[in-house]
């Protein structure tokens, strides 16, 4: 007679199949069972035809991957534990000692830090290029260039590059181009099909941490492709680096994803309203928001995102040079609805002061401003309340 504890662990009950509900099941697993030894020996972790081990996917992670691939217009997607891990995965998968990677000088900072750190340690060199000058990218490509990163809008300074032109330069030279599509979120433009041209980037990564999660409570990233061979190469590195994802977090993103377009549009609407309002304020020298005519690369934004008319909920302002760091810090401290904190895409509006001088390579000249810069991420609060908060904080200047 088996003891109850054994029966408890090897319980015969199997719930009836065909359970239907709005959310997919949350399958948590390290171990995945095989029916017999033959099935185990035939295992193939490289495809979604079956299951082999929790690290390589469960019904829950496969479902989110498929939905994200659809959102971005790709064919395959891989989940990773953060947006930065998505950047690292692409670089580690495609680069080897002796190769070079080109990164825009206004890229998400940690992408450049990875190139300065681990990539350099592994004998991979990098160059920074001016994303607003396609000729600079063309001039910096060499036979050693195996990967080019692009990003729109640029990190913190929000310049909007001519993505189709940058991608075409890479395509003509047979170099893989990877987009950090966190800002666009698969909504502002189609990364694999710019303006219905059928042409786009080779790889699109996102920090799902931002709009897809939408709660400020999840770290996750995705790597989406539209080429089976490229996907296989990245999947191999994904497996070997052991990028595990918490299925509870996947559940959270699956729950948020259906509302991503609504939230994105709402963030965008409020951000544009506040950006326009700040443009008229005497304290502000410039508002950096790609949908504003005065912003660098506005024409590029209009060509690529004009049809969707979407521009996320992020913008930066440069304070008039008569205000020093101390005063601008005081402005940030005086805000009450806007909280001080990194990341973005959640319901709470955020503010971060940046010292651009420390963030850009002096050799890549495209930052003409002198004043202190502050970046806002506009949340889902009432826009009049946010404006009132900005107004009372400007008064302390």
Ligand X SMILES: *Cc1c(COP(=O)(O)O)cnc(C)c1O
Contact set with ligand X (CB under 6 A): 82-84, 108, 155, 180, 182, 207, 209-210, 219, 221, 343
Shorter beta-carbon distance to ligand X: residue 51 or 108 = 108
Helix (H) or strand (E) holding 298: helix 298-305
Longest dimension (CA), the chain: 85
CB of 205 to ligand X, least distance (A): 8
C-beta of 221 vs 296, nearer to ligand X: 221
Q: Least CB distance from residue 221 to ligand X, whole Å?
A: 6
Compute the least distance from the CB of residue 172 to ligand X, in Å: 26
Question: What's the min distance (Å) between Cβ of 114 and ligand X?
Answer: 11
CB 184, min distance to ligand X, A: 10
Nearer to ligand X, 50 or 109 (CB): 109
Helices (H), 79-147: 83-94, 109-114, 120-121, 134-140
Phi, psi values for residue 310, rounded to 5°: -130, 145
Which of 161/371 has CB closer to ligand X?
Answer: 161
**Distance from CA of residue 21 to its chain's centroid?**
30
Using CB atoms, what's the residue nearest to ligand X?
Answer: 83
Tokens of 185: 């979120």
Token pair of 328, please?
């601008």
Cis, peptide link before residue 153, omega less than 30° from 0: yes
Alpha-helical regions (H) of 317-374: 325-334, 356-359
Residue 33 or 342 having the CB closest to ligand X: 342
Whether the CB-CB separation of 239 and 251 falls below 8 Å is answered with no
Minimum CB distance to ligand X, residue 30 (Å): 23
CB nearer to ligand X: give 58 or 213: 213
Do residues 152 and 179 lie in contact, with contact meaning Cβ atoms separated by under 8 Å? yes
């Amino acid at each position: 007679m088996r003891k109850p504890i054994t029966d408890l662990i090897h319980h015969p009950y199997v719930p009836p199949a065909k359970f239907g509900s709005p959310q997919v099941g949350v399958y948590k697993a390290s171990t995945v069972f095989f029916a017999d030894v033959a099935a185990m020996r035939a295992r193939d972790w490289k495809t979604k035809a079956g299951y082999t081990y929790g690290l390589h996917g469960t019904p829950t992670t496969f479902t989110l991957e498929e939905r994200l691939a659809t959102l971005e217009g790709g064919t395959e997607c891989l989940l990773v534990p953060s947006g930065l891990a998505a950047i690292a995965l692409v670089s580690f998968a495609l680069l080897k000692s002796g190769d070079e990677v080109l990164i825009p000088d206004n890229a998400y900072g940690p992408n450049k830090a990875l190139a300065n750190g681990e990539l350099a340690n592994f004998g991979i060199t990098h160059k920074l290029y001016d994303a607003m000058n396609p000729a600079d990218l063309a001039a910096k490509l060499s036979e050693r260039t195996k990967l080019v990163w692009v990003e729109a809008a640029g990190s913190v300074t929000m310049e909007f590059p001519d993505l189709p032109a940058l991608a075409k330069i890479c395509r003509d030279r047979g170099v893989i181009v990877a987009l950090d599509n966190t800002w666009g979120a698969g909504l502002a433009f189609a990364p694999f099909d710019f303006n219905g041209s059928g042409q786009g980037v080779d790889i699109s990564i996102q920090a799902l941490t931002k709009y897809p999660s939408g709660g400020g409570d999840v770290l996750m990233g995705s790597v989406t492709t539209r080429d089976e061979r490229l996907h296989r190469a990245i999947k191999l590195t994904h497996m070997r680096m052991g990028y595990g994802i918490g299925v509870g977090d996947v559940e959270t993103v699956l729950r948020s994803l259906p509302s991503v377009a609504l939230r994105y549009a709402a963030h965008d609407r409020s951000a544009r309203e506040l950006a326009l309002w700040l443009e008229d304020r005497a304290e502000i020298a410039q508002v950096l928001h790609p949908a504003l005519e005065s912003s660098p690369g506005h024409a590029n934004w209009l060509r690529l995102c004009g049809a969707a008319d979407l521009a996320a909920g992020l913008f930066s302002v440069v304070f008039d040079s008569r205000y020093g760091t101390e005063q601008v810090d005081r402005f940030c401290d005086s805000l009450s609805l806007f909280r001080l904190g990194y990341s973005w895409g959640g319901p709470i509006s955020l503010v971060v002061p940046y010292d651009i001088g420390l963030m850009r390579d002096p050799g890549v000249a495209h930052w003409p401003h002198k004043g202190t810069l502050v970046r806002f991420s506009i949340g889902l609060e009432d826009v009049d309340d946010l404006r009132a908060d900005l107004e009372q904080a400007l008064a302390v200047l």
